[in-house]
Amino acid sequence: MRPRLRIEMELLLTPSQTIGPFFHLCLTTDESAGRLLGPETKGEHIQLVCRVLDGDGAPVDDAMIELWQADADGSHGLFGRLATNDDGVCVFETIRPGCDRTLQAPHINVSIFARGLLKRLATRVYFTDDASNGDDAVLALVPMDRRETLMARADRANAARWTFEIHLCGERETVFFDV
Amino acid sequence: MSDSGYRKPDPVSQPDYLYEPYRATVRRAPRQPLVLHPETLSERTGPVFGPADVSGNCGDLTRQHSGEPLGERIIVTGRVVDDRGRSVPKTLIEIWQANAAGRYFHNKDDHRAPLDPNFTGGGRVLTDANGCYRFVTVKPGAYPWHNHDNAWRPAHIHFSLFGPAFATRLITQMYFPGDPLFAFDPIFQSIRDENARHRLIARFDLGATEAEWALGYRFDIVLRGRDATPFED
């Protein structure tokens, strides 16, 4: 077949706007959306506590967090979303993701939406004890002194409970990605 | 064909994170540059939704209660395409909005306007095979907010779209033509390019209007696109 030569115009994308403070009535009515697993789901079951803070360190009580991750075998994917509470916190029930057969360390893709965010913020959760973090091509692009902002940390009392702090700005600003 | 991933938005098409006239951005906008990385499987894939996610009267916000809501009944319809004009089929669209009096069904909305017992203001549909969608709702009212003295939001409907991948996720707002509040609204004005800004204004569409029933508005949405690759992994 002869290749077709086409000059295609790129359409201007629809601009993003903030999610605003009232999305709950539609987007997060289903609290089970915070459970990415069932009792039979293969893999290491964990709780992922996400906490969102603004530039003053104050909790962001009207954010929406979405997770997108591989299952235990490294296939995509599992999706979840929750709104943060008055403490800026939401807690997902999920599994530690597997490796996706590429050169990536296990990670969870995260979208953050909130009043005051005119566009989605995208970041990644990595697990601080994972030996393959050193080989991860995306982490390698992050300045060394900021990589720790992408690490979830296990609770000292409960090894299945991990906390990921998201600092929207300020001294400890989380690394966000241009995906 | 090379696989370069989802094309990046033209910067003029999108707002910056920091836009001081919208006060809440000051404590929430990141100041460090975003880290660019080659697209991986994680951004190229995304959640898939189906008919079970849009069952019931999800697309008709005027029929979710025992009675009909007050206000001007409208039809909002359009097509979702990628940046080359190709349909985005079977993708989830969720909308939420204030009622005709400008009040949200939400415990943190303190605007002194009445709630409507027949209107919640949330809807969801899937686009069809051609990327088309349709909602029936009522025209939302303008409402005051606390951003600055005498601040009012123009009437708008919030839209949430997934598209085929993590990379195509979009949340935006649709406005109505000729709103006198556009010039005073920092959220709308955060998109500095006028042409891009006007992408958020629905068009009145007599063809979508149903006689003796409801005015029609057309709102087409453009998501990021990518070149197909024959070597899909």
The complex's ipTM works out to 0.95
The tens digit of pLDDT for each residue in B133-182 reads 999 999 999 999 999 999 999 999 999 999 999 999 999 999 999 999 99
**Which of A62-71, A155-164, B54-63 has the least mean pLDDT?**
B54-63
- A16, B106: Cβ pair inside 8 Å? no
How far is Cα B5 from Cα A173, in angstroms, rounded to an integer? 27
CA B116 to mean position of chain CA atoms:
22
User: Pick from B111, B18, B125, B80: which is nearest to B224 by CA?
Assistant: B80
pLDDT on residue B38? 93
pLDDT on residue B41? 92
Per-residue pLDDT, averaged over B126-138, amounts to 98
Cβ-nearest to A15 among B83, B95, B200: B200
The tens digit of pLDDT for each residue in B42-63 reads 999 999 999 999 988 899 999 9
Is residue B114 predicted with pLDDT exceeding 90?
Answer: yes
The tens digit of pLDDT for each residue in A124-144 reads 999 999 999 999 999 999 999
- DSSP type of residue B192: -
pLDDT band at A95 (very low <50, low <70, confident <90, very high): very high
Is residue A1 predicted with pLDDT exceeding 60?
Answer: no
How far is Cα B65 from Cα B63, in angstroms, rounded to an integer? 6
Identify the closest residue of chain B to A142 by CA–CA distance. Answer: B35
- As to burial, measured by CB atoms within 10 angstroms (0-12 exposed, 13-18 middle, 19+ buried), residue B113 is middle
B75: β partners: B136, B216
pLDDT on residue A75? 86
Is residue B231 predicted with pLDDT exceeding 60?
Answer: no
**Which of A47-56, A96-105, B33-42 has the least mean pLDDT?**
A96-105
Backbone angles phi, psi at B23, to 5 degrees: -60, -35
Per-residue pLDDT, averaged over B53-78, amounts to 95
Helix (H, G, I), strand (E, B) or coil at B6: strand
Which residues of chain A have a CB within 8 Å of the CB of B191? 15
- CB-based contact, B143 to chain A, within 8 Å: no
Q: Is the pTM higher than 0.80?
A: yes
* Chain A nearest C-alpha distance from B222 (Å): 5
pLDDT on residue B227? 79
Catalytically annotated residues of B: 104, 143, 153, 156, 158
Is residue B3 predicted with pLDDT exceeding 80?
Answer: no
Per-residue pLDDT, averaged over A150-159, amounts to 96
* Chain B nearest C-alpha distance from A27 (Å): 7
Cβ-nearest to B222 among A8, A12, A168: A12
Cβ-nearest to B13 among A13, A138, A176: A13
Per-residue pLDDT, averaged over B22-51, amounts to 96
- C-alpha dihedral, A36 to A37 to A38 to A42, nearest 10°: 160
- DSSP type of residue B141: P
B160: β partners: B94, B171
* Chain A nearest C-alpha distance from B88 (Å): 13
C-alpha distances (whole Å) from A55 to each of A144, A173, B12, B16 are: 22, 8, 26, 17
Domain locations in chain B? 11-223
Per-residue pLDDT, averaged over A5-15, amounts to 79
- B121, A25: Cβ pair inside 8 Å? yes
Helix (H, G, I), strand (E, B) or coil at B183: helix
Contacts of B198 (CB under 8 A, 6+ apart): none
How far is Cα A85 from Cα A66, in angstroms, rounded to an integer? 14
- CB-based contact, B3 to chain A, within 8 Å: no
Is residue B126 predicted with pLDDT exceeding 80?
Answer: yes
Which residues of chain A have a CB within 8 Å of the CB of B187? 17-18, 118
How far is Cα B159 from Cα A54, in angstroms, rounded to an integer? 25
C-alpha distances (whole Å) from B156 to each of B76, B77, B141, B161, B185 are: 12, 14, 8, 16, 12
Backbone angles phi, psi at A61, to 5 degrees: -95, 5
Is residue A5 predicted with pLDDT exceeding 60?
Answer: no
A30-33 LR contacts (CB < 8 Å, sep 24+):
A31/A82, A33/A80, A33/A81, A33/A82
Identify the closest residue of chain B to A173 by CA–CA distance. Answer: B30
Full strand arrangement of the beta sheet holding B92-96? B122-126, B92-96, B156-161, B170-175
Per-residue pLDDT, averaged over A68-94, amounts to 95
Q: Which helix (H) or strand (E) holds B136?
A: strand B132-138
What is the total residue count of chain B?
233
Cβ-nearest to A179 among B43, B122, B170: B43
In contact, B43 and A109? CB cutoff 8 Å: yes
Per-residue pLDDT, averaged over A36-64, amounts to 95
- A26, B121: Cβ pair inside 8 Å? yes
- As to burial, measured by CB atoms within 10 angstroms (0-12 exposed, 13-18 middle, 19+ buried), residue B228 is exposed
pLDDT on residue B229? 56
Record the tokens describing residue A164, joined without a space: 């990921």
Residues 57-76 of chain B with CB under 8 A from chain A are none
Domains, chain A, ordered by start? 41-167 (2.60.130.10)
Is residue A4 predicted with pLDDT exceeding 60?
Answer: no
Mean residue pLDDT across chain B: 95
Cβ-nearest to A10 among B43, B83, B96: B83
- A11, B167: Cβ pair inside 8 Å? no
User: Pick from A58, A118, A109, A104: which is nearest to B196 by CA?
Assistant: A118
Which residues of chain A have a CB within 8 Å of the CB of B122? 25-26, 29
- DSSP calls for chain A: -PPP---PPPPPPPPP----S-THHHHS--GGGGB---TT--S-EEEEEEEEE-TTS-B-TTEEEEEEEE-TTS-EEEEEEEE--TTSEEEEEEE-----SSSPPSEEEEEEEETT-SS-EEEEEEETT-GGGGG-TTGGGS-GGGGGGGEEEE-SS-TTEEEEEEESSSTTPPP-EE-
Residues 12-51 of chain B with CB under 8 A from chain A are 12-17, 19, 22-32, 34-43, 45-47
- CB-based contact, B90 to chain A, within 8 Å: no
Per-residue pLDDT, averaged over A63-87, amounts to 95
Tell me which of A17, A67, A142, A169 to substitute to probe the interface with B (most B C-beta atoms closer than 10 Å): A17
Q: Indicate the CATH number of B11-223 among 3.10.350.10, 2.60.130.10, 3.30.160.70, 1.10.490.10.
A: 2.60.130.10
Q: Number of residue pairs across A and B with CB atoms under 8 Å?
A: 218
